[in-house]
């Protein structure tokens, strides 16, 4: 088995003078949940459409499980499932009947219908009309459709978008188990960092078509610099004193000083302020959130 489920080199897509995706080099490990994260309009959906061969790049290559997407017969897509935006379902048909329509188109075995209903936990509702389903159930049925061809790679575009909290939990729980339980690599796009933290082990962050970060979620956590939050009555005097003493004072908007410092420096910093007659009323060691890192990488740190 190839070590990368998705690999792109220099993937580029332009619309006139606008560069939607710019020299994108993705490396999605087999057996991972890879979150493709970025603000709306960053190039996520355009990238997904190129990965699926729905639109052509002006430059670059796509390999899925080691197979070139451009290979004859589109063999690279034989074991790929995809859900882009909301699933297209027939509301007047039952869940099982919707699956049967797609099964015939794919030439999959009849046994696959019960199998995928079990996977997405819809067997009890299989014979209800889809127009009686909740949004979360419809999304799970959409996932079932993508599983009929027994994919080893799922590509999902904003899979929890528009769902209520219960639906989000249902879909998230399913996706999280796909690699370990069924050997399926998941590549999903999202603009919600809070969602990604609960799902993914590998992350790519895109902004204005460029890949700003790619790596394990743990590597992103390692970028969370610690700082000391200091509250004093005379802020300008404290800022000048700490800067003169060699401390890096970071900009802040909450009425306190943020000072780059390690835990072992806290006592010395406090002593310095108190000896100069600056009464300290707040002192706490903090750490940048993942959201702060995301906003910095995407250029929106206001």
Count of other CB atoms within 10 angstroms of residue 287: 11
Domains located in the chain, CATH noted:
4-221 (3.40.50.300), 226-297 (3.30.70.980)
Count of other CB atoms within 10 angstroms of residue 123: 15
Residue among 202, 123, 105, 72 nearest 113 (CA): 123
Which helix (H) or strand (E) segment holds residue 62: the answer is strand 59-64
How confident is the model at residue 1, as a pLDDT?
A: 55
Beta strands at 59-64 and 67-68: parallel, antiparallel or unpaired: antiparallel
**127-178: pLDDT as tens digits:** 999 999 999 999 999 999 999 999 999 999 999 888 888 888 999 999 999 9
Stated pTM of the model: 0.80
Q: Where does the pLDDT of residue 255 fall: very low under 50, low under 70, confident under 90, or very high at 90 and above?
A: confident
Kindly state the average pLDDT of the residues 57-73: 89
Kindly state the average pLDDT of the residues 89-98: 96
How confident is the model at residue 197, as a pLDDT?
A: 84
How confident is the model at residue 297, as a pLDDT?
A: 77
Q: What percent of the chain has pLDDT over 70?
A: 95
């Amino acid at each position: 088995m190839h070590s990368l489920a998705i690999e792109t080199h220099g993937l580029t897509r332009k619309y006139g003078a606008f560069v939607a995706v710019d020299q994108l080099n993705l490396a999605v490990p087999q057996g991972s949940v890879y979150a493709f994260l970025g603000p709306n309009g960053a190039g996520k959906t355009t990238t997904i459409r190129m990965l699926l061969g729905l639109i052509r790049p002006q430059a670059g290559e796509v390999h899925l499980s080691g197979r070139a997407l451009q290979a004859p017969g589109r063999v690279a897509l034989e074991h790929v499932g995809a859900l882009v935006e909301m699933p297209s379902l027939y509301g007047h048909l039952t869940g099982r009947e919707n699956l049967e329509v797609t099964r015939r188109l794919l030439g999959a075995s009849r046994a696959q219908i019960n199998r995928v209903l079990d996977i997405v936990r819809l067997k009890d509702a299989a014979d209800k009309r889809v127009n009686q389903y909740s949004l979360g159930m419809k999304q799970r049925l959409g996932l079932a459709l993508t599983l009929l061809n027994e994919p080893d790679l799922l590509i999902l575009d904003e899979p929890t978008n528009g769902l209520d909290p219960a639906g989000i939990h249902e879909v998230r729980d399913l996706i999280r188990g796909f690699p370990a339980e069924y050997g399926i690599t998941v590549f999903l796009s999202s603009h919600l960092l809070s969602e990604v933290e609960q799902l993914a082990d590998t992350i790519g962050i895109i902004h204005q078509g460029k890949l700003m970060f790619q790596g394990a979620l743990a590597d992103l956590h390692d970028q969370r610099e610690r700082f000391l939050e200091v509250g004093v009555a005379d802020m300008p005097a404290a800022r000048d004193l700490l800067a003169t003493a060699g401390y890096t004072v970071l900009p802040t908007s909450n009425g306190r000083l943020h000072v780059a410092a390690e835990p072992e420096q806290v006592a010395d910093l406090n002593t310095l302020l108190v000896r100069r007659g600056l009464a300290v009323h707040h002192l706490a060691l903090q750490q940048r959130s993942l959201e702060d890192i995301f906003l910095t990488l995407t250029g929106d740190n206001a």
